[in-house]
Amino acid sequence: DVKVTQSSRYLVKRTGEKVFLECVQDMDHENMFWYRQDPGLGLRLIYFSYDVKMKEKGDIPEGYSVSREKKERFSLILESASTNQTSMYLCASSPYYTEAFFGQGTRLTVV
């Protein structure tokens, strides 16, 4: 079975902290994605990567950066966390032209 693992299920951070959300997949997939999900707004794409060291902005990249140094790992970085970044963050991976597999999500609270 494909496994997409997010490093934490729940996280509480302080305003202004630098936050790293880690995602690891075990199926050698080319594509990896980071989303946030908020009530009434659905899933919104933050960044995605189609290969190592490649990244593309999604719909809401402001306030975030990403890193993909190895194929299996895609990190989302909040350079200076703010309260409006409190959300559920979901990571996914997929090969080209087939389905994506999602992790269980990280519920981040910024206080």
Partner 1 sequence: DAKTTQPPSMDCAEGRAANLPCNHSTISGNEYVYWYRQIHSQGPQYIIHGLKNNETNEMASLIITEDRKSSTLILPHATLRDTAVYYCIVRGGADGLTFGKGTHLIIQP
**String of contacts with partner 1 for each residue 59-88, x by CB under 8 A:** x-----------------------------
Residue from 45, 60, 63, 77 in contact with partner 1 (CB under 8 A): 45
CB of residue 4 to partner 1, shortest distance in Å:
8
Distances (CA, A) of 38 to 9, 46, 50, 86: 16, 13, 25, 9
Of 17 and 26, nearer to partner 1 (C-beta) is 26
